[in-house]
Amino acid sequence: MTYCVGIKLKAGLVFLSDSRTNAGLDQISTFRKMIVYEKPGDRFMVLLSAGNLSISQSVREILQVEQLKETPESEPITIWNAQSMFDAARVLGSAVRHVHERDAASLKASGVEFNVSLIFGGQIKGEGMRLFQVYSAGNFIEATSETPYFQVGESKYGKPVLDRVLTPQTPLNEAAKCALVSMDSTLKSNLSVGLPLDMVVYQADQLQSDQVLCIDDSNAYFKMLRNSWGQKLRQVFDELEDPMWHGEATDVPILTPEAQSRALKKIATPDEKLI
């Protein structure tokens, strides 16, 4: 299992992924889930993957050479000459379908489902930034101002903080911090997600990035964040008032055992009193 998150803001894009693919008592495997496609001044794209490792690796390899042709006479579209991120996402979807056609039947015969989930985002010169989530069928959806982020993999633990903090106006550094807190929550609750982490922070219209980071257990900032986040959560929790068990009366009816028994038998009397 893994956890990846991609965030789209007015200020730029944030991508974060872990690198654990298998966890057990005697085996922990590490593979990168992020790949960056960069042609400075022309395009900057990031791909995050979750699901079956052999499938995602095949998709990444085929994506490098995959082509789309609108007509027999037209020039093939690749991720390196696509004029829009939408077209680049179409090429990625085609690569997923290519691997499905080649491998799905044999995988199914071995009891393995075709399972891959991808986050793909970036910017191509001449258009704005875009962020997509691509499914196992090769189809995809795009992030909006109402939904400025996508998650793949073990997503449930890290979702609450993203929902509470992120808006399209969130500054890049705050979004990066939010993504790391989201990852920390997942690391805390799920053994199948683990360090090291790969992170990219991309500033809008730069068409390149020098903020491509690998974060391991010796990273001072991430260690501080993990410790501080846990302490602050505990502090806020302790400051909340305890429940009031003898406050205002509730409107919820409370039946006597006899009345409950009759209700179960569907013979409760109309004048049954509540206590």
In percent, how much of the chain has pLDDT > 90? 80
C-alpha–C-alpha distance, residues 36 and 145, integer Å: 24
Condensed to tens digits (0 to 9), the pLDDT of residues 151-202 reads: 999 999 999 999 999 999 999 999 999 999 999 999 999 988 999 999 999 9
pLDDT over 60 at 142, yes or no: yes
Encoded tokens for 147? 């939904």
Q: Name residues whose C-beta falls within 8 Å of residue 269's C-beta, 6 or more positions apart in sequence.
A: 262
| Angstrom distances, CA of residue 116 to CA of 31, 36, 57, 97 | 15, 18, 10, 11
CB 120 within 8 A of CB 66: no
Condensed to tens digits (0 to 9), the pLDDT of residues 90-131 reads: 999 999 999 999 999 999 999 999 999 999 999 999 999 999
Q: How confident is the model at residue 21 (pLDDT cuts 50, 70, 90)?
A: confident
Encoded tokens for 34? 């992020």
Task: Name the residue with tokens 């009759």.
Answer: 262
- According to CATH, the topology of domain 3-234 is Glutamine Phosphoribosylpyrophosphate, subunit 1, domain 1 (3.60.20)
| Residue 215 parent element (H or E) | strand 212-215
Q: Name residues whose C-beta falls within 8 Å of residue 87's C-beta, 6 or more positions apart in sequence.
A: 68, 77
| Cis amide leading into 270 (omega within 30) | no
- What pTM value is reported for the model? 0.88
Domain ranges across the chain: 3-234
CB 51 within 8 A of CB 117: yes
In percent, how much of the chain has pLDDT > 70? 92
